Structure formats: structure tokens, C-alpha cells
Amino acid sequence: MDILFHLPPDKVDLLIPKYSKACWENAVAVIKNIGYPRNEKALPKLAEQLQDRNWPGTLDGIEVFRDLGKEISTKYIEIECEKAVKENDADWCEHLFFACDSLDIIELDFQNSTTYNKLKELAESLE
């Protein structure tokens, strides 16, 4: 795994392949250790993992976003929230809302408050 810490910043997005969940937990560890801003290109894929907090590495991914702070994290998470709301997928929204809640991301942190409100509504519809 040590060699992965030396990946160039333009290749770090390759750490989280869509086809291999078995790699995700280790990939998140590498992304965390690489640090920001070198890991920036991997953050969209890391945010995609928030689709289901039961997936390998997802809870650790939330911690990576916590370490980055809301100013950096919110834009990546909001993009995933927009996708989930557009799909009207309550399960996906619930997992994303869990991530937002865990990171203390609130409506005011979103560029589009309508997205946040719809995300929350769909997430709470499962209760």
C-alpha cells in the first residue's frame, strides 16, 4: 500500500474503482493519508460512496470529510445530494442525510437550500 501514497495528484481518483468494493476501505485510508489538496481529485468518488453507509470505507470516508472541514466537503456532498434528490431515492437520501448530520452540514451550508430540504424530506419519509 505504501506505493499508493506516492500516486500523483492527477491519479488519486483511480483509488476508488466502481467495480470493486473490496478495495474501498483501503482506498479511503490512502486518500486520508495522502491529504488535501493532493487527494482532491478523489473527493467526488469518495462522496459517491456516501450513497450507502454500509459499504466498505464509507464511515471512514465521512471522517475524511470531517477532517477536511465543511468549507471543502460540502460542495462534493451537495453534488451527490442533488443526484439522489433528482432520482427521488429515499434510501440514498437517508444515507446522505446521515452523512450531513454527522458532519454538522446544515441547510445554510448548501448552495441550494431546496436540495437540502428535499433531501431531508425524503430521508425522513423512511422513518
Query: Averaged over 94-113, what is the pLDDT?
Result: 98
Model's pTM, two decimal places? 0.92
Rounded distance between C-alpha atoms, residue 22 and residue 44, angstroms: 19
pLDDT in tens, 33-63: 999 999 999 999 999 999 999 999 999 999 9
Query: Position 58: which residue type?
Result: T
**pLDDT in the model for residue 3:** 74
Domain containing 113 equals 2-124
Rounded distance between C-alpha atoms, residue 112 and residue 98, angstroms: 18
For the chain, give the percent of residues with pLDDT over 90: 81
Structural domains in the chain (count): 1
Helix (H) or strand (E) holding 61: helix 58-68
